[in-house]
């Protein structure tokens, strides 16, 4: 197995105004999360969130404590949220426990000195583990979450091209966490817009991960200040960082699913500042 990681530093919005396409992608876009028998991570200075992916294919992959953590094990001072976004079943081993995750099932792991391993039940149909991690000041119990356990909100309409189901899975209404809040939004066939009207939440950052999208299709993710918007074209199984000062919204050439992960000082899902369509520039 192999572990790769990179650091991403925070950017001031006045600097981002001058970014070209390459610079936007360098700072915010995350590619190559899933490579066979590798664990790949981005350590972001936005609330020190780690965004990562693991693809075990015939091997057991250890979630290593990268040098930047200066810790004996990954979970030493961190909590972790994991989703299986692969069609094959996966196994997460943590300490003496073992959890099986099917497609679109999630797992929360609290902080503590335990080793974490990712495995696939079938190497021919491997699991794809997407994860977010944040600094934790307290240890909360591990818990597996399925869509049946989630708080589901049906929003939008086909007429406005944003009929979607928001599955709130790793949120404080379902289980206790320190900072981490994660969920999964599924767009209905015929709908392409997510998170409209656009909003920001200055008390926490966010990462989006897009999947469940045909290979020949693409997502256009919007970011930036409401009056200084930018965009990044993305393919399936790619992620993007959204600073606390930035909107986060997208439209695609097909319906899709995305996982949102948030970290910061506020756990209130409804803590958002909205902007009307006509305010955006």
* CATH number for the domain harbouring residue 162: 2.60.120.10
What is the mean pLDDT of the segment spanning 200-218?
93
CA distance 179 to 176: 9
Instruction: Write down the pLDDT at residue 272.
Output: 74
pLDDT at 270: 67
Q: Which residues form the domain of 31?
A: 2-136+144-279
Give the C-alpha separation, 279 to 39, whole Å: 41
- In the chain, the number of structural domains is 1
Residue 55 · residue 35 · CB < 8 Å: yes
pLDDT at 200: 84
- Which range has the worst mean pLDDT, 134-148, 173-187, 260-274? 260-274
- Confidence (pLDDT) at 136: 97
**Mean pLDDT across 73-79:** 98
Q: Could you give the percent of the chain with pLDDT greater than 90?
A: 90
Residue 205 pLDDT > 90, yes or no?
yes
Give the C-alpha separation, 54 to 76, whole Å: 20
Is residue 197 reached through a cis peptide bond, with omega within 30 degrees of 0 on the bond before it? yes
Q: What pLDDT, on the 0 to 100 scale, is given for residue 259? A: 98
The yes-or-no verdict on residue 199 having pLDDT over 90 is: no
pLDDT tens-digit readout, 23-43:
999 999 999 999 999 999 999
pLDDT at 52 over 80: yes
Contact call for residues 80 and 60 (beta carbons, < 8 A): no
Q: What pLDDT sits at residue 70?
A: 96
pTM for the whole structure: 0.96
Using an 8 Å Cβ cutoff, are 204 and 262 in contact? yes
Handedness of CA 252, 257, 262, 268 (dihedral sign): positive
pLDDT digits (tens, 9 = 90+) for 78-113: 999 999 999 999 999 999 999 999 999 999 999 999
**How remote is the C-alpha of 228 from its chain's centroid?**
24
Q: Where are any strands of DSSP class E within 173-227?
A: 181-187, 199-200, 204-211, 219-225
Are the beta carbons of 184 and 170 closer than 8 angstroms? no
Within a 13 Å sphere around the CA of 234, how many CA atoms are in the beta-carbon half?
33
pLDDT digits (tens, 9 = 90+) for 221-249: 999 999 999 999 999 999 999 999 999 99
Sort 136 into a burial class: Cβ within 10 Å, 0-12 / 13-18 / 19+. Answer: buried
Is 128 a residue whose pLDDT tops 80? Answer: yes
């Amino acid at each position: 197995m192999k572990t790769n990681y990179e650091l991403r530093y925070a950017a001031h919005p006045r600097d981002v105004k001058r970014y070209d396409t390459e610079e936007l992608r360098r700072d915010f876009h995350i590619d190559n999360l899933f490579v066979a028998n590798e664990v790949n991570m981005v350590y972001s200075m936005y609330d020190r969130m780690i965004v990562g992916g693991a693809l075990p294919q015939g091997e057991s992959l250890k979630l290593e404590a990268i040098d930047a953590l200066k810790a004996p094990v990954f979970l030493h001072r961190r909590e972790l949220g994991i989703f299986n976004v692969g069609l094959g079943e996966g196994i997460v081993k943590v300490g003496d426990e073992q959890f099986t995750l099917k497609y679109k099932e999630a797992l929360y792991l609290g902080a503590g000195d335990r080793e974490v391993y990712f495995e696939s039940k079938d190497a021919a149909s491997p699991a794809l583990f997407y994860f977010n991690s944040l600094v934790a000041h307290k240890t909360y119990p591990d818990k597996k979450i399925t869509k049946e356990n989630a708080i589901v909100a049906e929003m939008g309409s086909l007429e406005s091209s944003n009929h979607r189901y928001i599955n709130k899975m790793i949120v404080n209404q379902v289980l206790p966490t320190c900072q981490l809040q994660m969920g999964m939004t599924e767009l209905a066939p015929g709908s392409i817009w997510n998170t409209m009207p656009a909003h920001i939440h200055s008390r926490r950052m966010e990462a989006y991960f897009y999947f469940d999208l045909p290979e020949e299709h693409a997502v256009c993710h919007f970011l930036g200040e409401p009056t200084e918007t930018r965009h990044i074209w993305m393919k399936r199984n790619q992620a993007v960082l959204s600073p606390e000062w930035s909107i986060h919204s997208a439209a695609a050439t097909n319906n899709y699913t995305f996982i949102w992960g948030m970290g910061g000082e506020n756990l209130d899902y409804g803590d958002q500042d909205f902007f009307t369509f006509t305010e955006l520039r």
